[in-house]
């Protein structure tokens, strides 16, 4: 008897998870967090409630899991803190404008105060999304561009705060020159130190 050939492809569990999270994101974009229901996810993903609840016991965890699949920033080393941060904020702007991140993330933050479980899940997700900017800042500290005693969490807030506010809550379009100004002002306040081989992006 000829041996049966095992079919190649993604495991069923992975395909099911992908379908569930894709359906969840579609509903979040179309109907908002309030419109997200397990029944609708089941219908769109052709999955069972048991499968969903086994992996994500609550609506909050399911929604955040879908958000966590959205693109994350890439902390490319371009040689200076200014260029590294310009790459970060430019990529972030692209995500906001061209992925569901710009629609879904502010909406989820708006729901954050209503549910301790959602707040905890979002806080964990936010912490992970801050990691690339932390890495860029630590590289700058290692290069001597920023003080060794820099408060990294405060620095992330000072740099990304204005960008997030304007892109996600004011629907503003920020030019590269404006990004450079934001970075310049933030770094000046953080004690940016220049050498003979480095200079600000703007005067």
Domains parsed from the chain with CATH numbers: 13-68 (1.10.10.60), 81-189 (1.10.357.10)
Give pLDDT, residue 195.
62
Rg (CA), the chain: 21
Q: Are 111 and 185 in contact (CB under 8 A)?
A: no
Give pLDDT, residue 2.
47
Give pLDDT, residue 127.
95
- Mean pLDDT per segment of 10 residues, for the chain of length 203 residues? 47 86 97 95 96 95 95 94 97 93 91 92 94 98 96 97 92 92 96 69 56
Rounded to whole angstroms, the Cα distance separating 138 from 147 reads 10
Which string of b and e fits 156-177 if b means at least 16 CB within 10 Å? bebbbebbbebbbeeeeebeee
Give pLDDT, residue 57.
95
Q: What Å distances lie between residue 120 and 38, 124, 141, CA to CA?
A: 21, 6, 30
Rounded to whole angstroms, the Cα distance separating 4 from 45 reads 30
Residue 9 DSSP code: S
Give pLDDT, residue 199.
56
Give pLDDT, residue 14.
87
């Amino acid at each position: 008897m000829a041996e049966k050939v095992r079919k190649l492809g993604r495991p069923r569990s992975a395909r099911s998870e992908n379908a569930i999270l894709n359906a969840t994101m579609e509903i979040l974009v179309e109907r908002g967090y309030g419109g997200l229901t397990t029944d609708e996810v089941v219908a769109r993903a052709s999955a069972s409630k048991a499968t969903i609840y086994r992996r994500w016991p609550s609506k909050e965890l399911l929604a955040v899991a879908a958000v966590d699949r959205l693109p994350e920033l890439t902390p490319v080393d371009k040689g200076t803190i200014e260029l590294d941060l310009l790459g970060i904020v430019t990529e972030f702007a692209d995500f906001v404008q061209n992925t569901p991140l710009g629609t879904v993330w502010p909406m989820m933050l708006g729901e954050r105060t209503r549910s301790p479980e959602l707040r905890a899940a979002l806080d964990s997700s936010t912490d992970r999304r801050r990691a690339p900017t932390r890495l860029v800042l630590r590289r700058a500290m290692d290069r001597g561009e920023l003080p060794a005693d820099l408060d990294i969490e405060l620095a992330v807030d000072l740099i990304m705060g204005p960008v997030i506010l304007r892109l996600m809550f004011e629907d503003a379009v920020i030019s590269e020159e404006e990004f450079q100004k934001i970075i310049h002002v933030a770094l000046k306040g953080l004690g940016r130190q220049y050498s003979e081989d480095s200079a600000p992006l703007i005067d």
